Amino acid sequence: MERMRSIVLSFTCSLVCCLAVLVCRAQDALDAVAKAYQQAGYENGEKFLKAGPYVRALFFNERRDEAIAVLEENIRLARKRQDGKYAAYLYGVRALNTFILGDSAQAARYIDSASVFSVRTADRKIKGYVHYCRGWLLARAGREVDAVTTFVEGLRLLENTGAHTYQRSIYSELYAIYANWRATDLQTKYAYLNLGLAVKWKEPSALFDAHMRMGHLYETLTSETGNPSFADSAVRYYRSAIALFEDNPSTMGTSPTDLAHVAINLANLHLNNADTADRRQAEKYARKAIAIADQYGHTQFKAAGYGILSALARSSHQPENAKTYLLAALAAASQETAMNTETLPLIFRNLAELSEEQQEHTEALHYYKQYVAAAEDRFDAEKLELSARLEAQYERAKQQQALGQLRLESAQKEQQLKLMDARAAEQRQAIEVMKLNEENQRQQLAFANLQNQQKEQELAAVQREVALKSRISQTYIILFAVALFMMALLFYAYRQRSKTLTQQRHLHRLEMEQVQQQHEISNLTAMLSGQEQERSRLARDLHDGLGGLLSGTKIELSAVFSRVNDAAAREKVTRSLNQLDAAVNELRRVAHNLMPELLLKYGLTEAIREYCNRMSHGDLEVAAEIVSYTDSLDTNRQVVVYRIIQELVNNAMKHAEAKHILIQLAQADGTLYLTVEDDGKGFDIVTLDGRKSAGIHNVQSRLDYLKGHLNLISEPGMGTTVEIEFPLAQPAKIIQASGS
pLDDT at 115 over 90: yes
User: In degrees to the nearest 10, what's the CA dihedral of 455, 460, 466, 468?
Assistant: -140
In three state form, how does the secondary structure of 609-643 look? HHHHHHHCECCEEEEEEEECCCCCCCHHHHHHHHH
Is the overall model pTM greater than 0.85, yes or no? no
Residue 117 lies in a domain: no
Give the whole-angstrom CA distance, residue 672 versus residue 723: 11
Please tell me the predicted confidence (pLDDT) of residue 6. Answer: 36
> What is the mean pLDDT of the segment spanning 527-535?
65
Give the whole-angstrom CA distance, residue 209 versus residue 175: 12
Please tell me the predicted confidence (pLDDT) of residue 427. Answer: 78
- Given a contact cutoff of 8 angstroms between Cβ atoms, the answer to whether 550 and 580 are in contact is yes
> What is the mean pLDDT of the segment spanning 89-104?
92
| 629 and 715 inside one domain | yes
Contacts of 722 (CB under 8 A, 6+ apart): 648, 675, 676, 677, 699, 710, 711, 712, 713
| 601 and 721 inside one domain | yes
pLDDT at 544 over 80: no
**Angle at CA 494, nearest 5°, toward 490 and 496?**
115
Beta bridge partners of residue 710, listed in sequence order: 724
| 533 and 605 inside one domain | no
pLDDT at 381 over 60: no
| 430 and 491 inside one domain | yes
Helices (H) and strands (E) in the chain, counts: 26, 5
Q: Which residue has the higher pLDDT, 158 or 335?
A: 158
- Given a contact cutoff of 8 angstroms between Cβ atoms, the answer to whether 605 and 626 are in contact is yes
Give the whole-angstrom CA distance, residue 621 versus residue 663: 11
| 620 and 711 inside one domain | yes
| 723 and 606 inside one domain | yes
pLDDT band for 415, please (50, 70, 90 cuts): low
pLDDT at 134 over 90: yes
The DSSP 8-state label assigned to residue 691 in this structure reads: G
> What is the mean pLDDT of the segment spanning 302-306?
85
* Chain-centroid distance, C-alpha 690: 31
Residue 114 lies in a domain: no
Write the CATH number for 615. Answer: 3.30.565.10
> What is the mean pLDDT of the segment spanning 344-350?
82
| 607 and 490 inside one domain | no
Residue ranges making up the domain that contains 720: 596-727
pLDDT digits (tens, 9 = 90+) for 476-510: 999 999 999 999 999 999 989 888 888 888 888 88
pLDDT at 2 over 50: no
Residue 237 lies in a domain: no
Residue 34 lies in a domain: no
pLDDT-wise least confident of 44-48, 304-308, 536-540, 662-666: 536-540
* Chain-centroid distance, C-alpha 722: 37
- Given a contact cutoff of 8 angstroms between Cβ atoms, the answer to whether 68 and 95 are in contact is no
| 416 and 540 inside one domain | yes
| 707 and 636 inside one domain | yes
What strand order describes the sheet that includes 671-678?
621-627, 660-668, 671-678, 720-727, 709-714
Residue 739 lies in a domain: no
- Given a contact cutoff of 8 angstroms between Cβ atoms, the answer to whether 181 and 524 are in contact is no
> What is the mean pLDDT of the segment spanning 312-337?
82
Residue 437 lies in a domain: yes
- Given a contact cutoff of 8 angstroms between Cβ atoms, the answer to whether 289 and 264 are in contact is yes
The domain tally of the chain equals: 2
- Given a contact cutoff of 8 angstroms between Cβ atoms, the answer to whether 25 and 246 are in contact is no
* Domain finish residue from 530, 546, 562: 546
- Percentage of the chain lying above the pLDDT 70 cut: 78
Please tell me the predicted confidence (pLDDT) of residue 457. Answer: 77
CA of 474: how far to CAs of 170, 421, 425, 468, 469, in Å?
A: 87, 21, 17, 10, 9
Phi, psi of 298 (to 5 degrees): -95, 90
pLDDT-wise least confident of 43-57, 199-213, 389-403, 531-545: 389-403
| 537 and 623 inside one domain | no
Burial group, residue 138, by CB count within 10 angstroms (0-12, 13-18, 19+): buried
Please tell me the predicted confidence (pLDDT) of residue 29. Answer: 66
Please tell me the predicted confidence (pLDDT) of residue 341. Answer: 60
- Given a contact cutoff of 8 angstroms between Cβ atoms, the answer to whether 15 and 2 are in contact is no
Residue 452 lies in a domain: yes
pLDDT at 313 over 60: yes
pLDDT-wise least confident of 206-210, 413-417, 424-428, 639-643: 413-417
| 433 and 526 inside one domain | yes
Residue 487 lies in a domain: yes
pLDDT digits (tens, 9 = 90+) for 671-720: 999 999 999 998 888 876 544 466 777 788 888 888 899 999 998 888 99
Nearest residue to 329 (alpha-carbon basis) of 356, 357, 301, 355: 301
- DSSP assignment of 501-526 equals HHHHHHHHHHHHHHHHHHHHHHHHHH
| 422 and 511 inside one domain | yes
